[in-house]
Amino acid sequence: MSGLIGASPFDGPLLNANRDNRYSDVKRVLDEAEKKANASFGISVLPFTSNLTPADAKLQMEKQITHHLNSTTRVIFFKLRNDAMGESAQASN
């Protein structure tokens, strides 16, 4: 999954909820993003952006945004997991 935190683009599985015991990290980031109402996500696979300038990488990622994170779309975010495990099931692991 690729994403944006602030204005810094990055590549990699940094917020990958599929890794063991990562739920608390992902939840903390999503809770903060939801409060600030400034996070978005997409569901398409992006090409690596490491060869691009930060500004070009940001533009590439912004083209793929399909959802703005809020309490309703948060469910969609968790359905992106390989096993489609929802947030409540992930929290109980």
**Tokens, residue 86:** 């929802």
Which structural domain range is residue 28 located in?
3-91
Nearest to 67 by CA among 55, 53, 78: 78
Secondary structure string (H, E, C) spanning the chain: CCEEECCEEECCCCCCCCCCCCHHHHHHHHHHHHHHCCCEECCCCCCCCCCCCHHHHHHHHHCCCCEECCCCCHHHHHHCCCCCCCHHHHHCC
**How many domains in the chain?**
1
Q: What is the pLDDT of residue 7?
A: 45
pTM above 0.85, yes or no: no
pLDDT, tens digit, for every residue of 44-72?
888 888 899 999 998 988 888 788 889 99
